[in-house]
Amino acid sequence: MTELRKHVEELGLQDHVTVDKLDVLDARDIAAVSDSDFDTFVSNAAIGDCGPLAEIPVELVRRTFETNVFANLELTQRVIRTWVDAGTAGRIVIVSSMGGMLIAFGLGPYCATKHALEAIAATLRD
């Protein structure tokens, strides 16, 4: 955040761009941002537990899906509802990765969540 804030200042955009931290699993962070006035939302939250998919504990896979998919979707829906209710035109950017198009040994849970995000983003776009 520090580097991004510094870059925003260097560009002279500090009156137009707010850089803030948001943990998608932290109710306080979500409540704090819910009252903010913004028209661009970048969904970039992700974690990635690694290991052979046949051996990785399902609980770790669930946690990865909770963070990377469900929490992102829930927050994105909240943003959309807020904008629709207020008549705000906004832009949502959902950050995925190459893991959303490819697979890699040991990264099954991560890639699966990024595949899901690709589908969610395409569906929302349409």
Q: Which residues are catalytic?
A: 110
List of long-range contacts for 9-15, beta carbons under 8 Å, 24+ apart: none
Residues 81, 93: Cα–Cα separation, whole Å: 16
Report which of 93, 51, 40, 45 is spatially closest to residue 68, judged by C-alpha positions.
45
Distances (CA, A) of 87 to 32, 65, 81, 93: 21, 31, 10, 19
Residues 8, 36: Cα–Cα separation, whole Å: 19
Neighbours of 81 (CB within 10 A): 10
